A and B are shown apart, each in its own frame.
Chain A
């Protein structure tokens, strides 16, 4: 199930990837083809069935219209009476500022047209004169394109004077600079000359080229432009207008515009507004009304740019359409695949299907991938554009690049999808983290009135400190007055004293707390003279010590109550028991004739003795476990201790036929213990042995030093089967014999263990089959001074 799902996702992924690559390649390929058709309009390519309806045709028409208007201007500038007139006078200012050559000299200087054209071809010549060494240094020709920068640069840097060499003279035969007047300084004139030469070079070139291109036999375009203002007519039809007979309409596409009657007629998408705008650019020239006829012969008898474009259009359009179709459908396919991936990814399988990458904080993740995608796309577009002329290479590179970028995109996108599905988009974001931090701080600030007060007062003091210092230092540096710095130093010293004072108060409080932690509750911190914050702290410590004192008092009281309880219970148990013991004894002494009665009394006697032991052990055990027991540790000789115990049990062992094999350490082992309590421990375990050991067996007692401990162990063979756990034996009321038939309270080992542990020793019971072993160990006391 899971692997099927994984496989399906992988296939979807692959399909999407391939589809995107194909879509991108097809789209770019068609773009290349389109741009081959129309370099300008490719971005807005709209395929049309007919070439004449295409944007390309539209663009070409508009370009031609522009050319026609421009050509008409150039003609009126360069021609007179229908042909080029070289002796036409050019007023430099009029030409530069208005773009017109009227043939008259006006305010500025005038040159002959042919002189200017020649001059512009040759360039301006300057001579450089070093004022210190008289005479010319160098002559240099500057082509019009460089007039602006270099010449003056040279002049400024090398401190030389630059002088224009006037190769052509103005119309009136004087030098250029003689025309300097109020309106035009020498510099102005020189600049006018330079700009005129620049402009006239370009204009003359256009005049020649456009004249050739628009000649009637070289183009399928026909035009007739008449300026009503000065009656001038521009046409490539000869001088006759054909507006009367609508000849222009015989061409496939045409425009008729009459600005006087606002008549406009066209079967093209060119609007009259565009034409008015176009002519408006030359408004100075077309001051009056005008009449325009324009037509394109769509039978294309001449092989011009229109015909070539038409041919290309017919050839490439079907391929472009196919490519665009492929591109469109693969793109749709890619989007569908992406949607499927969106649905399939994340959710479901384990840990909400989140991956490592999904745990990167959202914002940096997004920014990083946007950067990566942006940079990758930019680089790819640049490289592909550079390779425009090597189409196969470009398409190959594009394919690889798009595949890579799409991979990045999918990675980022699917991660976001998984995040959204898992609901971690926000919770793993920096914003969320930041908000949580803010919430934490604000929470901290607002818990109870006190907290915010103490924090804000701390901030206030700090701000005050900084502010005062800043003020003194600012004023000090402003007025360069050392007294401000001294004041700042004094202020800081005072502040230091305050800090130290506060610190000492803290130390006092800390001392109180340490004292309390050592277990001395009788501590009161003197809060007199403290600052409010420390005073609150000190008061809290005092309250704490008071509470502790109360708790200790009540705990002592409880302990006493418990001790009293044990005493009372033991009294109440023991008093009736005493009577029973006494009267049973009396019964035994009385003369009883019946044997049965004697037997009963014997049983009573035995059980009474048992009850006596039980009661004593019970009281002792509860006293020990409730801690109502005083221990006075002394230094004891453990070896002698064991010897003494063995002496006590010598007869008991003999009586039940136990053989005691004891091996006690040769050296004296001193331990710290309470002699009477330890006696009780050893007494218990030896009595245990007497009670439970198999008669006639050996009992082993060992005492030796082991790793800083005195370890005593007592081993014996149990009389009865021990079918319980060793740990249980030291629990209360547990005895080796489950039937509880033997005497004993079941508390012996429990009391022994508790007493041992109270004295700081360890008590362990070990069972192995019938082997019963008790181990008692106490830390050795090193100082082996002979006890008194």
Chain B
């Protein structure tokens, strides 16, 4: 692990959860700081150089949402919210106040680690990638990027292998971020023939793409399903 020391602050009022996360992240070689409420977390960030914050929402003294709001006034480090609140409204709130990801409890520790890695890669590496772009054939959304010249797909800097059909579907969606494509539209675009009735071929391909580019395919960050309408990649 020849990488510079990375400091991660874990903040939850439940000490056992903090301990567990500490163990997982330490195994990955990260330096873990611990805090047990929002105030503590904010003061630690003042004192230490923190590269990523994992914070719970429901905490005494200062809750995660407020702490994130405070933090965003002076820092842009990645923030992953960890919460037992699983309602859409809670997630939207969390993302809106400046969090970069939202993981609902009880979470799979491996997923948490994956997301942490993903956030750190974007935070530390993507800034440099932006410099050598500019040839017009690179399409990206968040950590997802396609270089159409080299036909390579990277997620948070990691190269992902796709089949040609999968690549074409992803490219179609990524070229038109924010636009919803129906199954028939995708079919007609990729296969260049008229779609006859409803078919789950496209849906199966989409699922495969999601499994490859998403950390948790059930909660996709990039390739979203708009149920009954189609698929899309959100504008970032």
Decide if A and B are genuine partners.
yes
Residue positions of A touching B, CB distance < 8 A: 567, 570-571, 573-583, 585-586, 612, 615-616, 619, 630, 634, 636-648, 650-651, 662, 664, 666, 671, 673, 675-676, 678-679, 787-788
With beta carbons under 8 angstroms apart, the residue of A581, A636, A639, A673 that contacts B106 is: A581
Contact A675 B229 (CB under 8 A): yes
Contact B207 A574 (CB under 8 A): no
B86 adjacent to chain A (CB < 8 Å): yes
Give a binary string over B199-213; 1 marks a CB under 8 Å from any A CB, 0 the rest: 111111111000000
Give a binary string over B47-65; 1 marks a CB under 8 Å from any A CB, 0 the rest: 0000000000010000000
B165 adjacent to chain A (CB < 8 Å): no
Residue positions of B touching A, CB distance < 8 A: 14, 16-17, 20-21, 23-24, 58, 84-86, 88-89, 105-110, 180, 182-184, 197-207, 225-230
Interchain CA distance A664-B197 in the complex, whole Å: 8
Interchain CA distance A573-B199 in the complex, whole Å: 41
- List 28 interface pairs A-B (beta carbons < 8 Å), by A numbering: A567-B85, A575-B17, A575-B84, A576-B14, A579-B16, A582-B16, A585-B110, A586-B20, A586-B24, A586-B109, A612-B106, A615-B106, A636-B227, A636-B229, A640-B182, A640-B228, A641-B228, A642-B198, A643-B200, A644-B183, A647-B201, A647-B203, A650-B204, A664-B198, A676-B227, A679-B225, A679-B227, A787-B182
A638 to chain B, nearest CB (A): 7
Interchain CA distance A6-B201 in the complex, whole Å: 89
| Cβ-closest chain B residue relative to A642 | B198
Contact B86 A640 (CB under 8 A): no
Contact A637 B182 (CB under 8 A): yes
| Cβ-closest chain B residue relative to A572 | B84
| Cβ-closest chain A residue relative to B199 | A643
B113 to chain A, nearest CB (A): 11
Other 17 A-B pairs with CB < 8 A, given A575-B14, A640-B230:
A571-B58, A571-B85, A579-B14, A579-B17, A582-B20, A585-B108, A616-B86, A638-B228, A641-B228, A643-B203, A644-B200, A644-B228, A646-B200, A647-B203, A647-B206, A787-B229, A788-B180
Interchain CA distance A570-B229 in the complex, whole Å: 32
Given A574-B105, A679-B227, CB of A640 within 8 Å of CB of B198 = yes
Contact A582 B109 (CB under 8 A): yes
Interchain CA distance A673-B64 in the complex, whole Å: 34
| Cβ-closest chain B residue relative to A671 | B228
Hey, which chain A residues are within 8 Å of B204, CB to CB? 647, 650
With beta carbons under 8 angstroms apart, the residue of A575, A581, A787 that contacts B109 is: A581
Contact B202 A647 (CB under 8 A): yes
Hey, which chain A residues are within 8 Å of B198, CB to CB? 639-640, 642-643, 664
With beta carbons under 8 angstroms apart, the residue of A578, A612, A646, A676 that contacts B88 is: A676
Hey, which chain B residues are within 8 Å of A640, CB to CB? 182-184, 198, 228-230
Could you tell me the dominant secondary structure of chain A's interface residues? Answer: helix
| Cβ-closest chain B residue relative to A673 | B228
Hey, which chain B residues are within 8 Å of A647, CB to CB? 200-207
Contact B228 A648 (CB under 8 A): no
| Cβ-closest chain B residue relative to A612 | B106
Interchain CA distance A641-B183 in the complex, whole Å: 10
B25 to chain A, nearest CB (A): 12
Interchain CA distance A679-B227 in the complex, whole Å: 7
With beta carbons under 8 angstroms apart, the residue of A571, A577, A675 that contacts B228 is: A675
Contact B203 A578 (CB under 8 A): no
Interchain CA distance A788-B199 in the complex, whole Å: 19
A641 to chain B, nearest CB (A): 4
A8 to chain B, nearest CB (A): 84
| Cβ-closest chain B residue relative to A563 | B87
Interchain CA distance A643-B89 in the complex, whole Å: 28
Given A571-B85, A650-B203, A675-B226, CB of A577 within 8 Å of CB of B106 = yes
Interchain CA distance A172-B226 in the complex, whole Å: 152
Hey, which chain B residues are within 8 Å of A788, CB to CB? 180, 229
Hey, which chain B residues are within 8 Å of A567, CB to CB? 85
Contact B84 A643 (CB under 8 A): no
A-B interface, 3 closest residue pairs, ranked by CB to CB distance from nearest: A647-B203, A636-B228, A675-B227
B235 to chain A, nearest CB (A): 15
Interchain CA distance A679-B203 in the complex, whole Å: 14
Hey, which chain B residues are within 8 Å of A577, CB to CB? 105-106
Interchain CA distance A567-B58 in the complex, whole Å: 11
Hey, which chain A residues are within 8 Å of B23, CB to CB? 586
Contact B17 A578 (CB under 8 A): yes
A650 to chain B, nearest CB (A): 5
| Cβ-closest chain B residue relative to A637 | B228
Hey, which chain B residues are within 8 Å of A619, CB to CB? 86
Hey, which chain A residues are within 8 Å of B21, CB to CB? 582
Contact A579 B228 (CB under 8 A): no
Interchain CA distance A331-B206 in the complex, whole Å: 112
Interchain CA distance A573-B104 in the complex, whole Å: 13
A712 to chain B, nearest CB (A): 12
Hey, which chain B residues are within 8 Å of A581, CB to CB? 106-109
Contact B105 A644 (CB under 8 A): no
Hey, which chain B residues are within 8 Å of A643, CB to CB? 183, 198-200, 202-203
| Cβ-closest chain A residue relative to B21 | A582
A648 to chain B, nearest CB (A): 6
Contact B106 A648 (CB under 8 A): no
| Cβ-closest chain A residue relative to B107 | A578
Hey, which chain A residues are within 8 Å of B227, CB to CB? 636, 641, 644, 675-676, 678-679
Contact A644 B225 (CB under 8 A): yes
Interchain CA distance A612-B200 in the complex, whole Å: 30
Interchain CA distance A524-B21 in the complex, whole Å: 59
Most chain A beta-carbon contacts within 10 A, residue among B14, B182, B184, B202: B182
| Cβ-closest chain A residue relative to B230 | A640
Interchain CA distance A664-B184 in the complex, whole Å: 14
| Cβ-closest chain A residue relative to B110 | A585
| Cβ-closest chain B residue relative to A678 | B227
Given A581-B108, A637-B182, CB of A678 within 8 Å of CB of B228 = yes
Hey, which chain B residues are within 8 Å of A641, CB to CB? 227-228
With beta carbons under 8 angstroms apart, the residue of B14, B17, B89, B203 that contacts A648 is: B203
With beta carbons under 8 angstroms apart, the residue of B85, B206, B207, B229 that contacts A651 is: B207
Contact B105 A578 (CB under 8 A): yes
Interchain CA distance A578-B86 in the complex, whole Å: 14
| Cβ-closest chain A residue relative to B184 | A640
B202 to chain A, nearest CB (A): 7
Contact A579 B20 (CB under 8 A): yes
Hey, which chain A residues are within 8 Å of B89, CB to CB? 630
Contact A578 B197 (CB under 8 A): no
Contact B109 A585 (CB under 8 A): yes
Hey, which chain B residues are within 8 Å of A636, CB to CB? 227-229
| Cβ-closest chain B residue relative to A645 | B203
Interchain CA distance A586-B113 in the complex, whole Å: 13
| Cβ-closest chain B residue relative to A679 | B227
Interchain CA distance A619-B63 in the complex, whole Å: 22
Hey, which chain A residues are within 8 Å of B207, CB to CB? 647-648, 650-651
Most chain A beta-carbon contacts within 10 A, residue among B89, B105, B199: B105
Hey, which chain B residues are within 8 Å of A664, CB to CB? 197-198
Interchain CA distance A705-B182 in the complex, whole Å: 21
B32 to chain A, nearest CB (A): 14
Most chain A beta-carbon contacts within 10 A, residue among B109, B200, B230: B200
Interchain CA distance A126-B225 in the complex, whole Å: 138
Interchain CA distance A634-B107 in the complex, whole Å: 31
Contact B105 A575 (CB under 8 A): yes
| Cβ-closest chain B residue relative to A629 | B87
Interchain CA distance A671-B225 in the complex, whole Å: 18
A684 to chain B, nearest CB (A): 14
Hey, which chain A residues are within 8 Å of B183, CB to CB? 640, 643-644
Hey, which chain A residues are within 8 Å of B16, CB to CB? 579, 582-583
B133 to chain A, nearest CB (A): 30
B216 to chain A, nearest CB (A): 14
Hey, which chain B residues are within 8 Å of A637, CB to CB? 182, 228-229
Interchain CA distance A648-B214 in the complex, whole Å: 14
Hey, which chain A residues are within 8 Å of B108, CB to CB? 581, 585
| Cβ-closest chain B residue relative to A648 | B207
Interchain CA distance A180-B179 in the complex, whole Å: 145
